[in-house]
Structures are given as C-alpha cells and as structure tokens.
A and B are shown apart, each in its own frame.
Chain A
Amino acid sequence: MAGAAHSSEDQVELLRGVIDATRLLVVVADQTGVVQLINRAAARTTGLTEAAWHRPIWELAAFPAERELLRGAFTPFRREAFPPAVMFHLTRAEQAPRGVDWDVRVVNDRPEPRIVFTGVEVSERLIEHQRLRQAEVFQRQILDRLPAIVWTTDEKMRTTFSAGGGLSALGLASGEVSIIGTPVTSYFHTEDPHHPAIAAHLRALAGESTVMEMAWFGRRFHSRIEPLRDDRGQIVGVIGVSFDVTELKQTAQALHESESLLTRVVDANVIGVFFWEENGRITQANDAFLQIVGFSREELLSPGISWQALTAPEHRPLDQRALAELRATGRCTAYEKAYITKGGVRVPVLVGGATFDRPTAGEMAGAAFVVDMREQARLRDAREKLLRNERAARVDAELANARLQLLVEGSQALSPRLNPNEILQSLAELTIPALADWCYTVHRGWDDGNMLVASAHGDPNKRALLARLGPHRPEAGDDEGPGRVFRTGEVALYEDVNLDRLSARAWDPGEALVLRELGARAVLCVPIAGRSGVDAVMILVSSQDPLRYNREEVLLAQDLAARAAVSLENGRLLFEALDAVRARDDFLAVAAHELRTPLTSLLLHIQMLRQGLARDEADLSAFNRSVGAVDGQARRLSNLVDGLLDVARVGNNRMGLRFEEVDLREMVDDVVSTMAADFRGAGCRVLVTAPQRATVRWDRDRIEQVLTNLFSNAIKFGAGRPIELCAAVRGPMVEISVRDHGIGVSKEDQARIFGRFERAVSTRHFGGLGLGLYITAQILRAHRGSIRVESEPGQGARFIVTLPRGLEEAATFTDSPMAH
C-alpha cells in the first residue's frame, strides 16, 4: 500500500479492492437512493452487471413492500431519520430472491452524503436465528409443562413475552402474539397503582422484588415479580413468574377441612376414636374411647396394652377379619363386638376403621371409630323384653281366654244334665285334650252305695284299653291317690310318676299292665264335693308330660269339678225331691188310713150310742164300753194329730224347749210306768238299767216323748219279746239305749228311717204315720244330741241316744240334715 504519494484514484482503487475482498454485501447509494457502488459479493449475489445496478436501490429489492419501504426511507432523505438497519431481498436473475439483513450507515461524503448498506445474507443469520429459536421452543416447552406463567414487560409494563402452562387456565396459549405489547394493567382491568399486581410491577421497575399470592380469573397464583435487567444490569422491564396453586390450595383446603373434621370428631368425644398400629399399639385415643374402656390415657398408650387385648376373646376373630379387609381395601365395614373394660365389664360397641395409607406390605396403621352401644343394647334389650312380654301377655291372654272358654263349654255341657252317669262322662270328655290325655272319674254312689265311673281318652287306639280299667273303689285308708282325695277333700298332684309304684298301690296287677300301656307321667286327682264330703274324684292323666299341671291348670280342673259338683248336686236334689214327693204321697196314704181307722171306730161307737139312746134302753155297761172306746179312739186321733203338729212345728221352727233339772232314773221310771199297760198288752217285759240320782238338764216332756217313741217302736216291732233300756252317764254325756228283739232294720234302711215320712216297713203290717223316729231325731238334735241304730235283719234293733248332760241354754228346732 502506498502512502501520501498515492493518488486519490489509487486510494479509491485500494478501497475498492478492500470492499470487494469482504464477504459482506456492500451497496452504496446517494441521497436519492441511486446505487453508486456495489462490491463483488453483492454483484455475485444479485448477478447484476455494473451497468445494471446504477439505479435506485429499492429496485434491487425483490418484493414491492420492501421496495416501498426503501423508497420511503429516501423520499425525502433525512439523515437523522434514516433507519439504522433494514432487511430486504435482493432480486436475482432467474433465481429466487435472497434475503439480506442490512446495516445502514450514512456517510458524510462531499458534496452529498452517501448511504452505505452493509449486508449479510439472511440465510446464515437464519441458521443462527433458528438455533436460538429452537432453544426458545425448548424453553417454552419446559415452561409450558409447568403450572406457571412466565412473562416479561418493558419499562412501560407492556407485555414482551409470555409462556407457561398456567396460561391455559386463563384461556390463552403460550407465546400468543396477541398479548405481546398488551399493558399488564389491562389484565387486571384497572390502572390503579395500588392494585397488588400493578403495585408489584411498579416496585419491580423500581428494583424491588415481590412475592405474593393472588386470585386471578377464579384461580389462585403464587407469584414472584422482579426487575428485568439487561446485560449491563439496567432495569429494562419486569419479569414475573406465577405458579397456579388453585388445585394445591383446594387440596390443602380439603386436607385442612378433613383434618379439621377429624379433629372435631376426635375432640367432640361423641364417639370413641383411637389410632392403632397393626402390632397392637395404640398411639392416640380420645376421651370418649378412654371412657368406654375405662383406662387412663397413659395406661392405654403404654406398650403393655394392645387394642386386640381389649376385645372380648370370642370376638377376636372379628378383629382378624376386619384386619384382612383393611389390608385389602384400606377400610373395614363397621361391626359389633364387645370390649372388656379395665374393670372387667363387657361393653358392646360398634367399630369401624380405616388405614392411614393403603398398605401393600408391612405393618398397617390407622384410625378406629368406636360407638358405645350400651345404651342401644339396653334399648334393644328393653325392646326385646317388651316384645317378649307382649308376646307372653298375648299367650297368657289367649290361655286365659281358652280356659274361660273351656269353663263356658263345661257349663254348657254339664248344666243340662241331671243323670250322674251322664254328668261324669261329659266331665271326662270335656277335659280331653285341654287338661289330660285321658280322664277317669269315680263317684262313691248315692245312698244305695253303688259306685259310678266314667272315662275318656283322646286317642282312639287306647279307648278300649281304658275301658278295661274296672270300677276302682278307693279305700278310705289309702295314703295316696283318689282314696286320699275322698278322705281329705284336697287336690292330689303327682308329677314325674313312677308308674310301677302307682300301679302296685292303686290297681290290681292286671289293671296295672293296662295302666302302663295307657301311660301316666303326671296325675291330678281333683275332688268333686257333695253336701257332706267328697262325692267323686276326677283323675286327670298326662301320658307324656311329667310336669303337665301348673297352678292355673289345677285351678281350672277344680273349677270344672265344681261345675260338675253343682250338676251332680242338682241331680241329687231332683232325686231327693222326687223321693220326698213319693214319701209324702205314701205318708198321706198312711195318714189317711191311720186317721180313718180310729175315726171309723169312733163313728161306729157314736152310732151305737145314738141307737142305744133312741131305744131308751139304758144298758149302762154297754154305754160305758162305747164311751170308753170313743175316748180311746179320740185319744188315738189326738195322738196322731199331735204328731202331725210336731212335724209342722219342726218344719216351721216353732217348737221351743223348756229346760229343767231332771232326775234321769225318775224320768225313765215314769215313762215305763205310764206305758205299763202298753207293755203288758204287747207281752213285753221291760228291763231298766239306770243310775240312781243322776241329774240332767233337759226339756223333760220332749225327752219323755223320745223314750215313749223308742218304747212304742220296740213294742210295735218286737211284740212278745223283752225290751231293755240302759241309761249310763259317761262324763258330760248320757247314753240311753233301747233294745228290742224284733224284726230288725236292714243296712239300707238304717240311714233313712230317721227321715221325714220314712218307714222301713209296710203300712199293711205295721201301722203308724212313720213320724216317730223323725220327731225323735229332731228333739235330740235340738238338745245337741244324736241317735243311731245298730241292727241286723231278724236280730232286733238297738237305738242309742247320746245327749249332753247339762245343756243350759234354750234351743230351737231346725229342719236341717240329721246329725248321723
């Protein structure tokens, strides 16, 4: 290179050589835009010859918009306004335009400024740009995967960059061009500098960082807003990073609420809660749980106590099942079991639970929720008890109703019957099956002494067997069974019967076999009462149930027996009434006959007297005989009427007694003396044995009447044979017996000869009204004495009177049953 000696052409040439040597494209234009110079690289790129490039530079631009842009820069040319850089594409002959990025420099060349365009083909810069762009894309992808928004602004808080996955929550796309240049204030719809976000930006522009949390578009963001600095540390804007923490916040809130709820549940102590480990340890427990199990917290949390040990032993398999369920699902279905408290008390509980984490292996831990079921159990027990009671009450009511119905049916079946056989049979059938499998009734019989039996069996296969049990007469001496009931009048119940023993005592061996076949595990013997003791016994038998009869059934059986007794008594009364009617009719016939006989004789003698008087023949001796006969018949009539009057007085309770002190011997002698003619007439010798000076207090006339009646009876039935009277004082009592040697009285008649209008013999052979013994018995009864007879037919009879010696008070007759 030459120095000052070089000419300007040389310098131009040198400069030209330098320009051509560079790879940069160099184009120089004047202030009108006409190209003055183009270096070799530019000529090569454009393919233009020197002649071709002397024209306005914008004509080198390939596209109209570029040409227009360039021409605008030169028209008019203003140095200070000329752009420092520009890009346009160079036209190329028969080739695609090539983009060139131009630096522009205005050179103060004289006489006018030159504009130097130094360019680099865009293709090379593009490679660099794309590399950067690629890096940016990667960064953006990373940012877009973060739940965050990253943005930058310029100094005027206009958005210059945005990225991040958080933008989607705002309905924006990462790197969306439309928001570039948008002021951040517009995002918050305010320019208020006190708005937290705007204030943070302003502080950042002032060099201060802000960390804040804010709500935006319904979501929550955790943001950091800081100054954005260039390479030299100058603040050129704001850079912000916001993390979308909405879900995090919601999760945290839910967790907080859940924890809060759990805490409230635990602290409320409404239910027991404890935290457990699979190894048996209890790590926490609330007060409610402590109250349930009765341990203190220290005791419960100590290693010595395991939650398994609290469970009642028989319920531990339930715990094992719950553990298996917890391991499989993380929770377990609530189940009922019992805890054993510290004091050893069983507490029914309802338990449910869950693990803290679903376990895959190793030990589980979790929470258990325990509801104290004592109150529920008490209520349940009470309810069950109530139901049981209600059911039992219904059963009792139905039992009572059925028993009542049985009694009604009993009355319906028994009351219309008067025949004792029918009554007993109905009673036996009525009890089947309500009270027995089979029933046997036995009646002692009425006055004739003939036993009555009836039986019933529900099982048709056993009725014939039962019929083989013959009439069984209970003995008064029997210790057990019907005999005892007849004797005591009390119910006899035999449970869990030993049939061998019963058979041996109660039936003969043949019947014992029958009894065994019939079966008898429980036997109830119930008395059927009569007027003077037990008339019958109802025997109820359960073949299978050894404890068949309880108190209610005994009462029911007694009630049925009482109804049967009423029916039997009605039958008896009817029988007696019919018998009384018969006796009355007999008496009337006898009385008519007895009255007619003296009356006929009386009338005959009166007629004879009248005839004698009519003849005026005074046969005084005949007259006296007739008068004597009239007198005798009149007395006989008078005696008969007196007897009838006595009966009437007895019937009307109008026969009073006048008690006085009497010498027994004297009274007997007086009676014998008075009746001496009768004894002589009958050919009877009287032998009297009586104590001397024995004083008694009786109604003398009535007792004399008694002795007269007994002597008259002895004369009537024992004429021609001796009569013995024996009187003896035995302590406070006197016994007088009158014995004859006449026809005697049969056993059957002995019971009834003291009855009204009764007589043991035919009126054809023995006269009289048949009232003597009845009146005798009633007089003695009024003296609180009695009379009985000992006799065998053909062996005579001995009537024995027993009287108290010193009866002081007055008494009156009553027509009550006789004392014997």
Chain B
Amino acid sequence: MSSQPAELFTPPPSAAHAATSDGEVFLWLVRPEVVAEIASGVFSMPLAQKVIEFFDPIIASGRRVQVFSDFERLTHYIREARDLLTAHSVRNRRALEASHMLLSSKMVALGVSSFKHELGDPLVHTYSDRASFLTSYAKALARE
C-alpha cells in the first residue's frame, strides 16, 4: 500500500500494470478501502481483464472500496471491454462504495454514463476538474 500524499496521484512501483500497443492501466491499493487507478489511451480487453484480476481478491475479502479512476488521458474504449467491466461491477456492486472518475474524453463520458445508469447513480461521481477529483481523493484518505 502506498502512503503518498493525495496530490501525488502516481502509481507506485508495486502497482498492477497492463499495457497494450495503444493503452495502459495502473492499479494500486492506497488504503484497504481506497483503490487508485490510472488508464490512458484505449481501454481494451487486456486492460479490462487486468482490472478484474486486481479487484477479484478485494471482492473476495468482503471489503467495500472507493475507487478513484484517473481517466483524463483515456481517449476511448472497446465496447467489449466496457461491457465486461460493467457486468463485473454490477455483479459485485456490493464491494463498491463509490466510483470517482476524472474524465476528459467525450466518448469515455458517454460510456461512463451508461455505466452509471447500470450501476446506479449514487455510486458514480464524475469530474472534469482534477483539483476537485484530488479533493475527493484526499477526503477518502483522510477518512481513515
């Protein structure tokens, strides 16, 4: 687990990582109940599978987590990857306390809208302002 300050939303060396020719994802556990994620490029199946692989032990542990996803540099996604991740999230809704997503791509925003619709509004928060996103992240870290 990382103990870096909230403003440093950067993956530690131990972060789970997957990369393809046009996309990349990092995931790491910041606190037992706080997960950080950075994805960039195109969100495709290998990245979605890495995300699921990362979350499965957390889900198995029965903990509920807040997930902070920095998708600012995510340009678009492959539909199958989004469907896979959405279905996994819906199945394991109980493990998700909240999902915070920093967005800039219009296409990703559309996809997140659908994700939000399927998952339920109150769980999903979206940001276009990095400072506000980091404020929520800092609040989550300070809550412990």
Contacts and interface: CB of A to CB of B under 8 A. Distances in A.
Interface of A: 395, 398-399, 401-403, 405-406, 409, 413, 429-430, 432-435, 437, 458-462, 519, 542-545, 548, 553
Q: Which of A399, A430, A432, A548 has the most CB of B within 10 A?
A: A432
Interface stretch (B11-19, B55-63, B124-132): B124-132
Contacts of A395: 76, 107
Interface stretch (B23-31, B46-54, B88-96, B111-119): B111-119
Nearest to A396: B107
Contacts, number: 74
A395 B76 CA distance: 7
A459 B100 CA distance: 9
Given A461-B135, A544-B104, A434 B128 contact: no
A555 to B, nearest CB: 14
Given A433-B126, A461-B132, 5 more contacts: A398-B78, A403-B110, A432-B126, A434-B112, A548-B106
B120 to A, nearest CB: 11
8 contacts: A402-B114, A406-B113, A433-B103, A433-B113, A433-B116, A434-B109, A459-B129, A543-B129
Interface of B: 76-79, 101, 103-104, 106-107, 109-114, 116-117, 121, 125-129, 132, 135-136
Contacts of A462: 132
Contacts of B109: 433-435
Contacts of A545: 104, 128
B79 A398 contact: yes
B112 A519 contact: no
B128 A543 contact: yes
Contact of B126 (A401, A430, A459): A459
A402 B127 contact: no
A353 B3 CA distance: 58
A544 B125 CA distance: 16
B112 A433 contact: yes
Contact of A406 (B78, B110, B121, B136): B110
A543 B128 CA distance: 7
B114 A553 contact: no
Nearest to B101: A433
A434 B129 CA distance: 15
B105 to A, nearest CB: 10
B117 A458 contact: no
Contacts of B112: 433-434
B41 to A, nearest CB: 12
A177 to B, nearest CB: 79
Given A401-B79, A433-B103, A433-B109, A458 B114 contact: no
Q: Which of B107, B113, B127, B132 has the most CB of A within 10 A?
A: B113
Contact of B107 (A402, A409, A413, A542): A402
Contact of A409 (B76, B111, B114): B114
B137 to A, nearest CB: 11
Contacts of B126: 432-433, 437, 458-459
Contacts of B127: 458-459
In the A-B complex, the 8 residue pairs with the closest CB atoms = A458-B126, A434-B113, A402-B110, A433-B126, A433-B109, A544-B128, A409-B117, A437-B128
A304 B116 CA distance: 71
B81 to A, nearest CB: 11
A553 B125 contact: no
A593 to B, nearest CB: 53
Contacts of A429: 121
Nearest to B117: A409
B136 to A, nearest CB: 6
A140 B77 CA distance: 87
Contacts of B121: 429
A668 B102 CA distance: 75
A405 B114 contact: yes
A461 B112 CA distance: 19
B62 to A, nearest CB: 25
Nearest to B107: A399
Nearest to A438: B128
Given A429-B121, A458-B125, A398 B113 contact: no
Contacts of A434: 109-110, 112-113
